Structure 1
């Protein structure tokens, strides 16, 4: 049974569940879970099994610990997959092989990955607030793009994202944009602070 306050797949004591949807979101959460659970387990998933050179009948206590960790890494990944997704990787011999197969299945080869990055970069560069869109709705679209890029290994700097949000606002927001630029060092400004300021201004506009 899931811990109270957490839906299935959301407990801090169990890995996030992947059912074939939103792989990038799951992968990021799974990385955090494994790193927090046991960083050595994460290393096994990312880099491969701990090496044991002795024959089984000559295993030392250290060998057995390595085998146990290798099996635990594979077991945790299995527990994080729905039956359908488990079937895709059930023939894999190691946790790293499972992890890589999922990555290739849902992110594609390096060439496909580059194409996806190009598409998201274009969306990022052309990002604009839409007519009738609230700050919250606009920010949600923006985060979907930046998270998608981050999941593919392309991280945008905070200052760049702050400037991008400000440039995406319509001309009616120009006085507010100018005030923010004059009052803050945009290179150091947190995105959350910016959005909070914009939301407060939006509420004030609605009161008029």
Structure 2
């Protein structure tokens, strides 16, 4: 039996409000992720959803939902009756994240190169690669977002949603608290972006061993000091 929307006079308003709420939550989460990646939100400090909502001129609900989403990503932790604390990873935590990234990201790119990408997928990968190159002279947080987009697109091509979610979570955790500020000097950011180009071409040309080797080399920038 189909639903007759004409019998629900507030249906359109309800949908509009739900979409607006979702948009507010997503845009707030994006803003908070930017602050976490740039280091503007400091490790160990506690932030109130109410205070952030007031500062942004928003209701508390979408802000709290955005912050809870970041809790699920391992970037914030809930402190009962106080707010949300920025997660501070120990050296052991960072090593675990790095080791896992080597396992899942390298194998992902190997499989993608082995199965060969379509012409449309190749075009999209080259477009995202060029975007990272173009942003090397701009804001680091903007570059890191483009970097994330490129790497997640690679994994997305596997068609395995759980694999994608694992990689996204690990990459977020490795980048929080301004962890990659060191890339801003001595042309390291451009060098990292150019590594994207080599990985992309290895994938497109169907060279799985080369693509995997290049990914291992590329992830060296994320290796914590031993």
Which has the bigger relative contact order, CA under 8 A and spacing at least 6?
A: 2
Which structure has the bigger radius of gyration?
Answer: 1
> Which protein has the bigger strand share?
2
TM-score range, shorter chain: 0.3 to 0.5
Name the TM-score, length of structure 2 as normaliser.
0.35
